[in-house]
Every structure is written in C-alpha cells, then in structure tokens.
Structure 1
C-alpha cells in the first residue's frame, strides 16, 4: 500500500509540475497548418491513438482532440466549443510567431491557445494532451488545463474548475449540466443556470472539510481520486467499488460528463486492429432520471428501454415536441381564484402513483388523501400535492425535477383544469337547445322584441349625442389648461420660434450641449408643462424635406423607454425640437459622476429598459430606426427613474449626405461598431454593438476607457471584463458590491455577444431582451476580435 501511494505521488507531482514531457511525442513545427478537407486534417500522436484537428460536426467542422478508433470518433476535448460549425475553407494555423490560430471562412482570426509566450513548437502526446513549448521544452500551454467534458488518465480537474456536458451525443457544444470541483472539497453535479444551490445538486461526494485545495485526479490505472493538494492525501476514491484494469499500454481511461448529465468512467482497450473496445467501468448515478432538469418544467422522467424518457404531466402538452427538454405547458385555461360548483367544476384532481419532484412544498400538513385533494382544489396557489403517510405537501406550479420513483412511495395529486385552452369552453355536455313551436307565443314575442329594439336605438342615439357634447367640452378644457391629451398621442405640435423663446426665457437655462446643438429648459402653458427645447445648429438646406418627414415618423414613436418628442419649430432657417423634460438627468451622470452609483437591482432594471427601447426602434416602429449614438449621455431618467433613450434618429437626417460620407463621426468614439470604419452597409446591429459597451459600463459603473486606473489591464473595460470572465473572476469587476452571481455572469455574456466584431454574430435586440429577462439561456460567447487577450 505504501509503495502504491509513492507511485501515485510521483505521478501526480510530475503532472502538476508542468515541465515533464512524455517520452513519446509528435513534433509540430511553426508555420504548420490544417484544413478540414485537404490533408493533413489533423496532427496525430506518436502511437496514432489521439488526433488534434478538424472533425465532422453536423454540416460543418469543429476543432478538438479525439480518440482514433476505426470509423468511430470519441471526442475528448473541444476548442471554441460554442461556435457554429466551421466551413470547409477554414484553416488551423500554427503561425511563425508561435500562435495557434483559427482563420474562419470570413477571414477572422480566433486564438485557440491563449499562451503567455510565443511557442517554438507543439506536440500531440499519447496521453491525449496537446501542448505548446518554448525553446527549453518548457510547457507554456496544454489542453489538460482547459478540460471541456472529459478528463483522461493522468489528468487533473483542479479546485474551482468544471466539466460541462455536451449538448447531445454528437454535438459537443456546452450542454445543460456541469460537474464542479468545489473549493470546499465537494465534487458536485448541477444543472446549468440554476445558481448551483444545494437544492439544485443531484449528486455529490460529500467530501467536506478535508482541506483547502482539492483536485479530482484520474490515474493511469483507471482510478478516480479526490486529492487534497496540500498534503497529497487521497480523501475519496470515486470508483473504489468497481473493478478497474491495471495500467497497460493498450488501455486508455476517460471520465466524461455525458450529455445526459451522468458522470461516467470508461476504458478503451486497443485490439491491435486500429479500434478500441469500450467498456463502462463506473457511473455516478445508476438511474439517469435522478439527473435534475433532464426533463423540463411540468414534465416527468421515466425509463423506457433502459433510457430516460420525458412525458408531460396530465393537463399539459409539450412546448415543442421536437425539443422535449423544454418541458410542458398547460393545455387548459386558468379559472383564476375560483373553485366552481359541484355541477360545474373548474378543476379536478388526477392521481399518479410513485411520482415525486425536487422543489420544497410551501405547505406541509397532516391530513388524509381525500382532505389533501380537496384542500388543493380550494387553494388558489396549489397546482399539485404529494401525499405520503398522512402528510400532504402542496406545491405551486411550475413543477420541476419531476421523476418516477418506485422506492419513495409518494402519491401525486395533480390539479387539472376543466376548460380547454384551445376552445376555452367547458369540457362538459352542452345545455339542451330550447325550440319554440307555438304560433301564439311567436305572435306575442314579435311586438315585444320590436319595442325593445326601437327603445334601444333611441337610447343609443341619445347617449351618443351626450357623449359627443361632453367630449367637445372636455377637449376645450384641455386646450385651455395646456394639456396635450389626445393631440399629443396622434401628431406633433408646430411651435413658433417666439413661443419657444418665451418658454425658455430667451434660451437662458442650458441643460446640455451636443454635436448638433444645445438643449434648454423651458415651460409651456403658464409653467404647467416643463419641456426640453433642442436648438439645432447644423442643418443643411437640402435636408428640409427629410427633416419634416422624420418629424412625422418620430412623432409616431410612442414607448415608455423613449423620450417623447412633443413638437417642433420650422420657421425660416430656425429648427427646434421640443421634448418632454427629464428631471433626473442622464445615466452618465449617475454612473460616472454621482457619489453613490445606482445599486445592482436598479442597474439591471435600467439595462432592461434601454434594451426594450432599442427593440422598439428596431422592430416595432412602422419603419426601423437606427439610433447610431447609443451611449449613457443619451439615456435620460424621468421622475420615476425610468430609463429613456433620447436623440434617436437625429444623426440620420440632420445632414442629407451623411450616409455616404460622414460614417466616421456618426456616433461617439468608444461606442462605434467596427463596421463604421470598413465602408460596409450599416444595419441595426450597429446599435447592438453600442448597447453592449453601455451594458458593460452599467455592470461596472465606469467608462469603457479609463486611463486613471492602478492596473494597466483595466484601461479598456471590455478587455478587462473578458479576461475576468475567462478566469471566472467576475467578482473583481463589482469591487465588493453584493449582486446575484448568475445575473452578473448572464449580463456579461450578453454584452460580450453584443460587441462581436462580425454583425451577424451579434444577437437581435429581441434576443437581448429575452436573455436579460432570463427567458432564454445565454451561451458562452467567443472572444470578440477587437479584444486582445
């Protein structure tokens, strides 16, 4: 036993040292390259058991490391795993200056290995590790330090690192589950995007408090250990009860977090004919239905031919039958807080045996199963209940982590509606139709019906006249009081220059100044309505027709997150715009100048407000409007601290030929999308880029470029945040502020997607809104081309 510990110690120490090089390696020189379809397509290890390069992914290609076995490809590592498949004309290049780059079909360059120094050569090792060296054969980068869903024999998953499952068996993009080697020594399986709380965990080693630095280590004999890195003591042997083979040259071991969320250990025994015999040695879970979130909301997991299968609960249907992991939604209309009557019930209870779910009940009470059923029917919050041994556990909808469990012995009571959501009619017999056959009854009914009809018409006429006269009087009062009312909703008001000059007291109080003119505070209608008057200074004569047309178009844009344009002045050469007054200044004032910045929840709300405003301009107006100058200075705050976008569309029409020749100044430096400099057509994606920069500033409460910082890495905000994101150190950007970690990470991922160099990679503002609201998941973004890491 002592000798075995010594051997293990030597193996582990040699691995974490980073300088030991296996005897067998393949030498890859500088200026080497790979193509997806032209040989060579990969670099092989000396024994040709592992390959690094392009492999087939759907209709395209991906980059990774795989175990070469006949026609089968077992992928053990993937580069840029969340990027769409690459086209056949992509190239993987090991450049002359020692960088490993991917050149996409569009000419973009993406860094595969983020090494600290320039490499002198590379190797694909027989261990399955791809490494970069400097001249003294010191390793400066290795794939073993950046695992995706697999660790191989001799590889370590360090404390704080994670494995993320693939999306499907053949799609190695980031999936729905992750294995986390926690700093507290516990190895835990979680669904992604759940907060990693104890209630979300579905498997763990329970190795708490054994030390301060822990690692998961797979040795070359197929044994999985959790090791205390300080004392090198084995604190847990994951597959201690399984029989693993002894170390042989023809056997390769891998531990993989499979796409179904189960962590498994496999052996690959080489048969000498170019193929491997694959065997499963150990599995963290025997029942895949114990994986939480394997089925979506309101669906439950059951086994079908030894495979997990998702079914909808009674009263629900799949959201998408082709993607059953999205869960199920109700197929009946809600009756609100009504329980109905005995003759016309709104809800009924359906019973299912041996069903359970993972959320905690909001009420646990002792009662019989009949009382539990009746209590749930009468409780407006109750969507379902679990009953066992005289205990009733009521649960709100939606239900999650639902599964069959024959051992627990629960009875599920599911509340099902009696009204179809399709027809919205009660699912019950129709009342009998009453047919009148008596001639005498028909003769009596006719004059009565005619009389009621005449009286109804007279009443409608009298009511219409009364309403018309009252509306006329109401409208006259509105004009006398200076309220805009209906007129403000329908059209813009044309002001005279003298009227606006009086309203601003001779343009005395200036609120701000921009590139096209100054903004002054004013008051209309005897001081009852505060307004902001913008006096335009750079209008060309040729733009007169466009100016009036844009005034009409912007006057029809009504949204709670846009500063409303109330009217304008077009008198001689004078051009003025009248906006609603925003009492709480600009977002820039509160982020960069205020003594205390808005708290985290306020900033999240502000970010969502801005996104909804831009979405309206892009997709919900009669014609799309490209703002062209999204920045904190153009985000204003009203009396209730609602964020509103101002100055939208002005740069577009102030100069008639601006689209052709004024590209470089159509916005603000630091917020301009790269396509402004490339002489390419500008789309709404230019606003998406600017929003991404603003979103990063909202998260950190600082400008995108800040020269007065202690650390040079923090000068460019986007570069610094991306480095913190990759290093999983996003807490640094908050500087001690309390915030929801998942929300911070999601907002950073959304921002990084928005500032991608290629407009096609940026999401639409509709997608941005859905991601910020947590409705859709946010995938891992690639490194933006403008960021140097």
Structure 2
C-alpha cells in the first residue's frame, strides 16, 4: 500500500491514539498515569533493594505481579508480596499493570481487570503514581504530594505471606478485622493457603490458625518487652519490636538493628511462622526461629487420613490403604488435600469386603462422637455404619469418627499410644495391620474351612518343625554370623568378644558402662560399649536401639550395631581417632588451638539442636560433658551416648549415683526433683564451654584445691570489662579472637542461668555462634552473684539424694573448698 504525506500523518495520529501508554524507562521506581508495565519490564526501588514485575511460580505457566529482593541472589527469586494471588495470567506480554481512574490495576491478556488497589471513588486521585520503596512497600499516592504525606494505598496494609521490617500486622478497631499473614497454597502456588497468623487485640498475642478458625499456636501475651511464650526474644539483638494502640487500630511493628541484615518473617506453606535471615556467604536463607517448634504440631498439616512423622522427609504420608488425593500437590509439599482410600468402599452395595487398619497414634484425632457398647459392639457399629470412618475403644468408652481423620501422628513404638481402627477395603491391607478383633477368629476359621481337620494337624506339625529348625539354626549361628536389622547390624556376643580381645583394650567409661576398642572381620575399627544395669527385655531393647539407629547427624556418633543376648547388652559405634575432648583439655594429649575449640563449640551446639528439635521426639542427652564429646580424624566433634538415658529408664537418681566426674555439669533442677527438660542439656553445655575456654575443670575435684570457681571469674571479667583473653587457656599464649572469646563467655553465662526459662534454646546458641545474631550482656546467675559478692557460701553441686547429703561448697575467692555431711 502506498501512503501520501497526508495519509502518513493520519496513520501516525491513529497509532498514537491507540498507544497512549508509554513503556517504562530502565531503572524506574514509579508507574505514572501515562505508563504501563508488561512482559519483562520491572520497576526497581531507589537503592535497588526490591523489584516489582511479573514472575512465574515454579514450573507452572501461571504468572503473577509480585515484589522480590534484588540483593538476595536466590533462584528462584524470593517473593515478598503478590498482587493477584487468586487469579493468575498466562501471557505477561499482553497483560498490563497500569493506573486507571486513580487505581493501580492489572489487566490480563483479554484486557479484563483481575486485580486493583480498590481505592474508594471519594479519594480518587487526579494524578496518581505508584512508587516502589526500598523497604519493599508499594505505595499509591498523588504525584503532586511529598513522600511524607500518607499514601492512599500501600502494599504493607495488604500483606501476603511475608512480614517485612517496618510493616504492621494490625487489628482494625473500626472494621473489627485483622491483617492476616497467610501461607501460599504450595511452593509453586502463591494462592491463599490454609495457615494464617493474626493479632488478638484483647490478649495482645499472635495466633496461628488453620482454615481461619482452628488455633494451633500462640505467641503468648506481650508484656512490654517480649511475647511470653517466645523466651528467645530475651536474647534478641536483631529485632526491635514495638506495640502501638489507638482508637483506630492495634498493631505490632518491628525494625532491624543492623541495616545490613536482610531479614523477614513468613507464614510458611508448612504452617510454621518462620524468622529468616539471608546469609550471603552461603547464598541461602537461614532459619533463625520457627513456631510451632516441631512440624507435626501444625494442625491438620497432612490433611485427611494423612499421618505426620517428625523423623524424616517428607513429614506427611498416607495411611496404609490410602493414597494422596492429588499426587501433583503432594509432590509440591501441599498436603492439605490429604489422602483418600485406594478402593472406594461403596457403602451399602456390599461390593467390597470391609476391614479395619490398626494403628497407634500419639493422641486421638478431634471431632469424635461417643457410642454405647463394648469393644466388640463398637467394632460392629462402625462396620455397619456407612458414615463411620474409624473407631477406638478407650477407657471402656466407644469413640467413632464419622468425618475425616485429621492430626494423625503414628506412634507404633510407644506402649502409651492410643489405638485407633480405620475402615478400609480388606484387599488394601497387609494381614499384620488388620483389626485383631476380627482376625484372631476369622483366620483360623478360614484355615479350618479350607484344609479341614486333618489339614490343621499337618499344619500345626509343620509349624512345630519350623520352630525347631529356627531354634537350631540360631544356636549354630552364635559366634559365626550376624543378622541385619534395618540399617543396624545385630552382632552376636562371641563376635564382639573376639573383636575386642575379650574386652581388654578399654577406651573409657561412664555411668552407662565401659567402652572398648575392637576390630571387626572387615578390619574396620569400632568402639564397643558394654551397658550396665539394663533391665529391659530383648524386644524392648531392640526397639529402643533401632530408634537411636535412625538418628543421623554429622555431629552425632554413628551407631553401627548392637548385641542383645540374655544379660549382654552392647552397642557398637564408629571409632573416633582423636578420642574424647577431655583428653585434650585436661590430660595433655594435644593442645587444641582456639579456632578448633570454637568449631567444636559450634558443632556440639548443632548436634544438640538436632537432638532437641529435629528428631521425631525430643531427646535429652542428660550427660553432656567433655568425656562424651568425641573427635574424629579432622577434629569434628561428635556427641556420644545420646538416647542412652531412655535405654536405662527414667530413674535418673539411680543413674546419677553411678556417673563419675559429672557433678560439675548438673543443672539445679536435677537436684530439686522436678521434671527435667532440654534446658538441662543447655546448662551442661554452658558449663562445658567454660572448660573449653580455660582448658581446666571449672572446679578442681581435689580437696586441697585453691583454684577459684572459673564461671565466677568469667562473670567478673564481663561485668567489669576486664581483659577477656586472660580467661583463655594459658597454653594458647593469648592467641585467640577477642570477639569469639567474649561471645562464648557470654553464651556460657546465659546457659547456666538458674531458671530454665532464662536459658536460651540450643538453636539460639547455634545462631549466635554462627554470627547470625549478636548476644547481649548476660545477667550473672544468682548463685554466681553470691559467689562474686562473697556474701555467703552457696551449694552449687550436690550428689544424688539417694547417695546421701554430701555437699560441695565452692567459693569465688582462691581458697579451699569445704565439705559437710
């Protein structure tokens, strides 16, 4: 087609009419009324901290408008806010984010409006402008106003799953509504998930909810400084929280003390509230704090008929006879859809033969109803009811569940677990999982019906012959073979007797028994521990040991196997080339430099975090001391003897009387008779840190020792601002980091606080030693305060009450100790 000059001018005018918006310039931080954003275009905050544009969630073809970090080099980018959570777009190049009638709106590829700031028409701006700020806040304001004037709309008032520093989580007193922090549906779907966090203005606490109604965690009330159920805030030197209340709203906000720290709070897809900080050195987000502390405490995490287990990944699995409702969602860690039966029961049609899956759970699921009858009648009632999904007979009471089963956590190894029977198709069950009320009788009836009486006789004789054969085989195998149970080797006693040269090469000993060096048939070197005073039967012992064997961590000694023959109970561990920590600190085997000592302190902390917080059940070590810290060929610390307290039972007074050289590590609550928690390990860890610094026992055990109590000296130096390097092992010639020594001394003083709640968790200790957070000056423990002030003598260590009333008094001044009975 040929155009004249006149035609060309008309054509240009027409194009301009249909192209009123202008592309954004590179590096812009605003969208004005004459601009739009589409395709790969973005706007960037002034100092290039945050960026806004279209992003794709995971491997899907769905696009959203979001804000992400620029300085966080994660892949995919870390999203802090999403506009169109519920309605995605498929073509970002034909979609537009622009200002229309004073509102920022998103038009999809068909030019339909799918999201808007929804500013009221009474406040419609004549010349609106959207600005992305360096704190991650997207604001809509009049282009003629200054930055001090409040915005008519801001993304901080509409959080998604991330709470950024400077933002509020508020309760609006006028509308009676809370600002919610809501999880994504899955890692690849930013839609509104089932988990939320909100403020209760009456109790001034934050509450985590499932499906907007079911509470499953609370922060506790705000006392002006911290939330009562978040004691970690006492040691918090990263965040400054503040609470504000006026006639319009109540809210919390927070800031970061160090502006160079990149940090955020999120409501994760896991249902946990998480506090994360970015570690540039490792290029990853570091989990600083999370609640609920264990994943399985999150309500209905695994959905209907899903079971949660803290011992491995993924946390969720379907009950036997069930499958995920959505395999794709399950793969993306979205377990909310739960599980469905592999075979539809088609109740009332008698198509499928029904049965019950027998499981043990830590606690019974909610929403049960009560029926009348015996255990057998309870079974029959549920079997014949189309609506009944499960039943349990507890304390002579019949409980039935007509709805979905939620919050299941199987606990088949614990005798105190509750038994529940879940209705499924019989063909989907292994025989061992079926309801014993039915099968104890029916299995024998079936056998008799098929083979007749004569067949039963032959069958019984066959069983007897098999049992005789097995017994003969086992007796022949002693001393010659070993059997494998899971990942552990079940050794026969004679093998270990030969491997250890009849237990002649003793490596050490403690309250749980003696340890011997051994060499197996494959020439591998092991450490064999002969356990003492074990009263458990073989079956229970094997069960407990199998549990310990599943616990794997780089800072825990690996259990390789065990022996359980009669009264002989032995454990076989990896051999540690550099022996135990006490041989280096107190017995002159090799002087450890400061760098090695610091890494040992950090490694022990990591191992205890795993035991306390990341195992299926919290494991309290009960005997943290240098003798139980082993060092491999690279001087990597590994905690030994974890889980043994459970093996020997909870009669701790008996255990403590057999432990030698451990009095200096006992938390005060051991002697008060109260239940011991993981904070007892924290105390022991703190006492051990002092020895790691000084290279000597905190209090010499000899009666004529005139050495001062070392924790007193540390407290004095910290309190007076003295020479911190004077506390370090003299063999290091002051070659140590002042910052690290100060940090470890402060942590140690926090760990030995008299009250359990005042001591930090081991995860908090780990964060401090890693340098993620600072630690402030600790209060001097009450007992140590008395020592420093020399006002009176204080009993710091006491033998177990069962052993008598012997007490050891320790003074801070260099004078002899006194003992009384």
The TM-score by the shorter chain falls in which range? 0.3 to 0.5
* TM superposition score normalised by structure 1: 0.41
* TM superposition score normalised by structure 2: 0.39
